[in-house]
Homo-oligomer: A and B are copies of this chain.
Amino acid sequence: MSTITPAENLEADHRVKAVFDDIRATRKSDFINNMWLYLAFDPALLERTWAEVKTVMATPSTLDPVIKEMLYIAVSVTNGCSYCVHSHTAAAKAKGMTDAQYAELLSIISLAGKTNQLALGLQVPVDSAFDADAAKP
């Protein structure tokens, strides 16, 4: 059950088709997951979102692709986004996340959830040593 129903022939829109073609080429797979099928109701939003995902997630950078997916999972879990948790956990596994790394990921994000509550509950004041300016000579 969703808030919109994707049109039957989404790729009849050339802007949608161009994005889908680029998704397939970038991922070397014919599979287009629901996120993109649903976003296609607005070609401009689809284009902007895919362009950013491609730039941030699919371009070689200083972080390993598996690590990027793990960071994505951390945010998605904290926001309670079921779709995002499923899709990025699947992506992390496809990119090589091991069971041990997954267990560690869950250990860290659950610990962070715990200590976040403690710091917010106590309203712990930020140490001046953590101030970026303080580190300056």
Contact = CB atoms under 8 A, between A and B. Distances in A.
B2 A122 contact: yes
Interface stretch (A11-19, A20-28, A102-110): A102-110
A133 B80 contact: no
Contacts of A78: 74-75, 78-79, 117, 120
B1 A39 contact: no
A106 B48 CA distance: 12
A90 B31 CA distance: 30
A57 interface: yes
B89 A124 contact: no
**Which secondary structure dominates chain A's binding surface?**
helix
Contacts of A117: 75, 77-78, 106, 109-110, 112-113
Given A87-B127, A129-B33, A42 B103 contact: yes
Interface of A: 1-5, 31, 33-35, 38-39, 41-42, 44-45, 48-49, 52-53, 55-57, 61-63, 67-68, 70-87, 89-90, 93, 98-133, 135-136
